[in-house]
Amino acid sequence: MANQPAIDPMHQFLIHKIVELPTFHVGKLAFDMSITNSVASMIAGAAILILFFILTARREIVPNRGQALAESLYNIIDRVLVGPIIGPEGKPYVPYIFALFLVILVLNLMSVVLAIFNVGGLELTFAVTSQLAVTATLAVLTFFSVFILGFVKHGPKFVTLFAPSGMPWPMLFFMVPIEMISYFVRPVTLAMRLFGNMLGGHVVMSLFGSFVVALGIVALSGGLATLAFIPSALSFTMIVALTGLELVVAILQAFVFAALATVYLNEVVNFGHGH
Amino acid sequence: MATETQESTAAPEAKPAGLPQFDFQWWPGQIAWFLIMFLVVLVFVRLFAAPRVGGAIDAREGKISGDIADARRLKDEAEAQAAAAAAETAQARAAAQRLAGDARAKAQAEVAAKLAQEEAKLAEKAGVAEARIAQSRDAAMTHVAGIAAEAAGAIVGKLTGRAATPAELTAARGS
C-alpha cells in the first residue's frame, strides 16, 4: 500500500513556475510575470486560436472543412446569439462576444482533450478556466465593459435600469435594492458558473483516473485482490463516459458565457425598448 | 488574502489548505497574463478573424442571392422569348392558312370559270347542231311535200287520165 500513488484530485490545479520572470509592483500589488503552467496554457490557447483562424479564414465561396468549422463558430455568435437577441444593432459587438467565446472554448477544450497526455505522466494540460482568477477576470471584464457602455451610450439615465417602469413609487424602495443586487451579482455568477463546472468535472475525472490506477495496483498484488480489476475497469469506463460529458460541458459553458454576455449587452444596446 | 500569501510563501512545500485556486499569490500574475492573452485574441479577432469569416459568409450569401436573381431574370427572359416565339408561330400559321384559303378559292374560281366556258362552248355547239338538225328536217319536210304532190299528181293522172295542175295539187294538200 505504501507505493500507491496518493489520490489527490487537487494536484492538477496547482500552479508552478516554468520560466522565472521579473515581478512588477503596482502599488501594493505584486505582479509576478513568471510563465507558470497556467500562463503557458493561456499562451498555447491563444496560439491555437490564432493559428486556427490564419489557416481556416479563407474567402472561398465553397468552404473546405476548416473554413466551414470557422464559419460555424462565427455563426454561433452572429446568427444564434447576437442576431436574435440584440438584432442588427448588435453587429459591432460580435467580435468581442466571439473572442470571449473562442477563448473560453479553446481553454476548456484544451483542458479536456490534452488530458490524454496525462496518462503518460506528461502534464501538458492545465485547466485555465478552472482557475477562479481567470474566470473572475473574464466575468468582471465583461460585466464592467457592458456596464460602462451603458453609461457611455445612455448617460446618467442608465441608472433607471434598476427601477422597473410602471411600478407605484413606494414599491421602488423594495425593488431598487433587489434589482441592484440581482444586477451586481452577475459577475459573481458568471465567474462561479464556469469555475465550478470546470473544477467539478476535472476533479471527478481525476478521481476516477486515480481509481483506475490505484485499484489496478491493488489487483496486481494477486490472490483475492485480483477482483479489484473489476472496479478498476468500471472506473475506466466511467472516465471514458465522463470525458464525453466534459467535452459537452466545455462547449456548453463557453456558449453559456457568451449567451449571458449577449443578454447583458442587449439590455444596454436596446435600453428603453420594452424594458 | 494577505494571510494566504504569507502562508504559501513561508512554507512553499506545504500543501495549501483547500482549493489551490484560492492561493492568492498566483492571482496577479494570472490576471495580468490572462488580460494580455485576451487582448491579443480580441485584437486578432476584431481585425482579422471576424471580418474575414463574416465577410466570407456575407460574400457567399450575396453570391447565392445574386445568382438566384440572375437565374430568375434569365427565366423571365426565356419565358418572354418563348411567348414571342409562340405568337410568331401563331401569326405564321394564320398567314399560311389565309394563303391556302386564297389559293383554294382562286383555284375553285378558275375551275368554275373554265367549267362555265366549256359548258357555254358545248351549249353553242349543241345549238348549232340542233339548228342543223332542224334545217335538215325542214328540208326533208319540204321534199316530203314535193314528193307527195308528185305522187298525188301521178295518182290523179292515173285515175282521171289527166294530169292535175300544180295549183290544184297545192290546194288539195292545203285542205
Contacts of B59 (CB under 8 A, 6+ apart): A59, A61
Instruction: Report chain B residues whose CB lies below 8 A from the CB of A130.
Output: 21
Q: Could you tell me which residues are beta bridge partners of residue A63?
A: none
Residue that the C-alpha cell 479489484 belongs to: A228
Q: Is residue B16 part of a domain?
A: no
Q: Cβ contact (<8 Å) for A36 and B45?
A: no
Record: contact B34-A33, CB cut-off 8 A: no
Residues in A touching B20 (Cβ below 8 Å): 10, 13-15
Q: The complex's ipTM?
A: 0.86
Q: What is the CA radius of gyration of chain A?
A: 23
**Is residue B7 included in any domain, yes or no?**
no
In a domain, B12, yes or no: no
pLDDT of residue B18: 72
pLDDT digits (tens, 9 = 90+) for A137-194: 999 999 999 989 888 888 888 888 787 777 777 878 888 888 889 889 999 999 999 9
Three cell numbers written together for A129: 478556466
Contact B32 A33 (CB under 8 A): yes
What type of residue is B87?
A
**Would you call B22 and A132 a contact, using CB atoms and an 8 Å cutoff?**
yes
pLDDT tens across A56-85, in order?
877 778 888 888 898 899 999 988 988 888
Range of B37's domain? 23-174
Residue B78 to chain A, least CA–CA distance (Å): 28
A13, A70, A98 member nearest B21 (Cβ): A13
> Residue B11: inside a domain, yes or no?
no
Query: Total structural domains in chain B?
Result: 1
As to burial, measured by CB atoms within 10 angstroms (0-12 exposed, 13-18 middle, 19+ buried), residue B18 is exposed
Position B8 in a domain: no
Q: State pTM to two decimals.
A: 0.73
